[in-house]
Amino acid sequence: MREDGVGSERASDLDRSAEEGRRRVREALAGFEDVEERLSHGEAAWFVRGGRQVAMFADRHHDDRVAVWIAAAPGAQEALTAAQPGRYFRPPYVGHRGWVGAYLDTDCDWEAIGGLLALAVELARASGRRRA
């Protein structure tokens, strides 16, 4: 931390962003009775009952940002990251599978994030039905 306290202020802002973001993601997914939250790689993650992961919270996971990583439909990642690179990104590990990351420590569009989360649940359900 710098002597002027700037590092501490940034960490405090990130802590608030993480707390608020985790709460809002939980609220967005709480309405789906078949979605359960559990830890994955030390972070809150959400799965459709039966296994398919739909989202993962990323509280400074490999960088100094707060975000949520969301399973997305084909082409969504490219469209969102091209149109709004300050809000959306290609997350590590799952980005090659089309997942999209949404920064939560900036001006978030919670309606859009909620829509992405709902779509991720629907995609996971459809995938589960195809395997059955």
**14 domain-assigned:** yes
Residue 96 in any domain: the answer is: yes
Spatial distance between the Cα atoms of 69 and 59, rounded to a whole number of angstroms: 11
pLDDT grade, residue 119 (50/70/90)? very high
- To 10 degrees, what angle do helices 6-30 and 110-131 make? 50
Examine residue 124 and state whether it is found in any structural domain, yes or no: yes
Strands 53-59 and 88-89: unpaired
In the prediction, which pLDDT does 107 show?
A: 87
Nearest Cα neighbor of 70 from 49, 85, 54 is: 54
How many separate domains does the chain show?
1
Angle at 74 between CA 114 and CA 104, to 5 degrees: 35
| pLDDT-based confidence at residue 110 (cuts at 50, 70, 90) | very high
Q: What is the CA radius of gyration of the chain?
A: 15
Structural domain span for residue 124:
6-131
Span 7-60, pLDDT tens digits: 566 567 777 888 899 999 999 999 999 999 998 888 899 999 878 999 999 987
CATH of the domain at 70: 3.90.1150.30
CB 111, CB 119: distance < 8 Å: no
19 part of a folded domain: yes
The answer as to whether 1 is a domain residue is: no
23 CA to centre of own chain: 12
Per-residue pLDDT tens over the stretch 53-106 = 999 999 876 677 899 999 999 999 999 999 999 999 999 889 999 999 999 998
pTM of the model: 0.86
